[in-house]
């Protein structure tokens, strides 16, 4: 079996390597000459035997849309394109409608695993027709984590891979996954801050590490926080600026559209916005109002600057 892979960044390159380890030939293309096996999409298609499967791992938005359009002009009926990036689920319908009349299948694949996926495997949430998913199943099997077993030794079905539904379902599932991730990270961050704010706790990294075994809040994210604190116990080497990749916003948009209450995820998204404000206009207004109605003291900019540590 062969797989064409477009986009050999950190995640794409690791995915290509994991698939190769499973005995599947991978032909990779990237705009960077040092990473690629072929020097054009045309050469990529020529190197694959039909029916072809081409996995796209490029930035979401227009880069992905342009790549799908170009591949749609190069591929043949019976071939399949998989978008494994973080595309918005509404783009998937557009891609399927573009490719369908040409007889080219389309699968949207939400992928989680990050830089650790090469060794641990990738959680996969896919959307598309059963026929197209079946064509690509050996690739999904190569990428997903090893099948876990319960205490009696029986395999746990479905762990690490799901055919979530028709086109768009994979990216929608990944969107919700990332929204949940936002809220979990925010909760861990707030807990860390409170531990660090009191004199009572003498070993903050140790407390966080103690939660990784036997507690109800243990998780891989918690393991990663422990790792970060081992490298930088007071997190002094980084700033508190946190970007958002889009899925958190889209999750909240869908919650509003479907009248689903989502206070924790919404708050975690807004907290990221707040992280980018060196001096919050909202809190300026709050301080001004407190001064107006209650005569509460406000801190002038000059005073704030004077009180900053040298």
pLDDT in tens, 149-158: 778 888 777 7
Looking at residue 125, what is its pLDDT?
97
For 112-116, the CB contacts below 8 A with 24+ separation are 112/174, 112/177, 113/11, 114/11, 115/10, 115/11, 115/14
Looking at residue 302, what is its pLDDT?
53
Considering the entire predicted model, what is its pTM?
0.88
pLDDT at 308 over 70: no
Looking at residue 288, what is its pLDDT?
75
Looking at residue 149, what is its pLDDT?
78
C-alpha torsion angle, residues 179, 182, 186, 192 (rounded to 10):
130
Question: Among 262, 267, 271, which Cα is nearest to 176's?
Answer: 262
**pLDDT confidence tier of residue 148, bands split at 50, 70 and 90:** confident
Task: Give me 254's structure tokens.
Answer: 């869908």
Average pLDDT value for residue range 49-58: 96
Check if 10 is active-site.
no
Average pLDDT value for residue range 8-17: 94
Q: Return the domain boundaries, the chain.
A: 2-166, 175-275
CATH architecture of 2-166: 3-Layer(aba) Sandwich (3.40)
pLDDT in tens, 203-245: 999 999 999 999 999 999 999 999 999 999 988 888 887 888 7
Of 154 and 177, the structure prediction assigns the larger pLDDT to 177
Whether the upstream peptide bond of residue 188 has omega within 30° of 0, thus cis, is no
Looking at residue 219, what is its pLDDT?
94
Choose the catalytic residue: 135, 144, 174, 284.
174
Q: Which CATH number fits domain 175-275: 3.90.1580.10, 1.10.3190.10, 1.10.3720.10, 1.10.1040.10?
A: 1.10.1040.10
Average pLDDT value for residue range 69-90: 97
Q: Per mean pLDDT, which range of 78-92, 99-113, 144-158 is the poorest?
A: 144-158
Exposure string of 15-50, with b = 16+ CB inside 10 Å and e = fewer, is bbebbeeeebebbbbbeeeeebbbeebeebbeebee
Task: Give me 110's structure tokens.
Answer: 């939400």
């Amino acid at each position: 079996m062969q797989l064409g892979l477009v986009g050999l960044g950190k995640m794409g390159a690791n995915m290509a390597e994991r698939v190769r380890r499973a005995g599947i030939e991978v032909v990779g293309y990237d705009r960077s000459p040092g990473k690629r096996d072929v020097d054009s999409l045309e050469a990529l298609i020529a190197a694959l035997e039909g029916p072809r499967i081409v996995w796209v791992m490029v930035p979401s938005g227009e880069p992905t849309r342009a790549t799908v359009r170009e591949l749609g002009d190069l591929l043949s009926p019976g071939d399949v394109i998989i978008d494994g990036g973080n595309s918005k689920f509404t783009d998937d319908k557009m891609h399927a409608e573009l490719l369908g009349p040409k007889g080219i299948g389309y699968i949207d694949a939400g992928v989680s695993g990050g830089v650790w996926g090469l060794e641990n495997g990738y959680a996969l949430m896919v959307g598309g027709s059963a026929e197209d998913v079946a064509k690509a199943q050996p690739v999904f099997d190569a990428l997903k984590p090893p099948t876990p077993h319960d205490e009696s030794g029986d395999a746990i079905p479905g762990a690490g891979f799901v055919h979530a539904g028709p086109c768009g379902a994979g990216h929608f599932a990944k969107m919700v996954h990332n929204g949940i991730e936002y809220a979990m990270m925010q909760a861990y961050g707030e807990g860390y801050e409170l531990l660090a704010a009191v004199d009572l706790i003498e070993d903050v990294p140790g407390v966080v590490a103690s939660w990784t075994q036997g507690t109800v809040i243990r998780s891989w994210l918690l393991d990663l926080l422990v790792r970060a604190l081992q490298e930088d116990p007071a997190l002094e080497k980084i700033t508190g600026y946190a970007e958002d990749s889009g899925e958190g916003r889209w999750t909240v948009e869908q919650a509003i559209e479907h009248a689903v209450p989502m206070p924790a995820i919404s708050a975690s998204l807004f907290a990221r916005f707040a992280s980018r404000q060196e001096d919050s206009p909202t809190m300026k207004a709050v301080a001004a109002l407190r001064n107006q109605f209650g005569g509460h003291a406000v801190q002038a900019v000059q005073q704030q600057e004077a009180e900053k540590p040298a």
